[in-house]
Amino acid sequence: MTAPIRVLLVEDNPGDAELTRDTLEAGKLVLDIHVVVDGAEAIDFLLQRGQHVGAPTPDLVVLDLNLPKRDGREVLQEIRRHAALRTTPVVILTSSDAEKDIAQGYLLGANCYITKPVDLAAFQQIVRSIETFWFTIVRLP
């Protein structure tokens, strides 16, 4: 049996976290999903420090932009600063559809930028696409 794929979900809205987790878990793949609720905690998790000493290095980060404490942009900058994390794929999943946020997201090194759809079916579809694309289609290092 292959090791489960580790996903770090950075999402302050517990509802969205639950929807994402629920959809991912309903898929065929075996996933190990971790949820953190703010930017500071996300950075601790990724750098394996504070309460997250010994945390696993995720295979994929799903990142919201508007987060308490340190926002998604800072988390993204932090990820791209560390050699060990530089190649980790980051998917921005946010409610913002502002051009400025999209451009900045890519500039900071996001691998893709997705606006949360309003509709549940569309949301589930997108989460499943993320799963399929990153874990079955692309080859990761």
Partner 1 sequence: MVDCRAPVGSNDNQLGADGFGAIATVLAIASNPMLVIDELGEIRLANPPAERLFGGALDGVPFASVVPAERLGRRRDGTEFPIARRLEPLRVADRTLTLAAVTDLTLAAADHQLHLVIEAAPDAIVVVDAARTIRMVNRKAEDLFGYARGELTGRPLELLVPERLRTRHAELVAGYTATARPMGLARDLYGRRRDGSEMPLEIGLSPMPAAEGTLMLAAIVDITERKAIEDELRRSNAELEQFAYIASHDLQEPLRMVASFTELLAQRYQSKLDERADKYIFFAVDGAKRMQQLVADLLAYSRVGSQGRPLAPVPAGVIVREVVQVLGATIRATGATIDVGALPTVLADDGQLRQLFQNLIGNAIKFRGLAAPVVTIRAALRDDRWQFDVADNGIGIDAQYEDRIFQMFQRLHERGKYDGSGIGLTIAKRILERHGGRIWFTSELGVGTTFHFTLHPVANPS
User: What residues line the site for partner 1 (CB under 8 A)?
Assistant: 13, 15-16, 19, 22, 95, 116, 118-121, 123
Strand 60-63 relative to strand 90-94, pairing:
parallel
* Min separation Cβ 19 and partner 1, Å: 6
* Min separation Cβ 121 and partner 1, Å: 8
Q: Which is nearer to partner 1, 80 or 128 (CB)?
A: 128
* Min separation Cβ 118 and partner 1, Å: 6
* Min separation Cβ 51 and partner 1, Å: 27
Q: Which is nearer to partner 1, 53 or 119 (CB)?
A: 119
Q: Which is nearer to partner 1, 46 or 63 (CB)?
A: 63
Q: Which is nearer to partner 1, 63 or 79 (CB)?
A: 63
Amino acid symbol at 65? L
